[in-house]
Amino acid sequence: MKANPHHPSLRLHKLKGTLKDYDSVSISMAYRVVLELIITDEEIILLDIGKHKEVY
């Protein structure tokens, strides 16, 4: 992820609803990482790791 956060295997995508300000990458088909990409600092802040179907 550090080398290429847009690598297709990560399935990086914007979230919707209450998490619309965040992105997500997949760890597996069951788990994801919710994150905030701060482009200006080229920094990735990991917010949470949880199941895809969990609602925050």
Give pLDDT tens digits for 7-43. Answer: 898 898 898 888 888 888 888 888 888 888 766 667 7
pTM given for the model? 0.68
The three-state (H, E, C) secondary structure of the chain, written as one string:
CCCCCCCHHHCCEECCHHHCCCEEEECCCCEEEEEEEEHHHCEEEEEEEEECCCCC
When pLDDT is cut at 50, 70 and 90, the band that residue 54 belongs to is: low
pLDDT at 55: 56
pLDDT at 35: 83
pLDDT at 2: 74
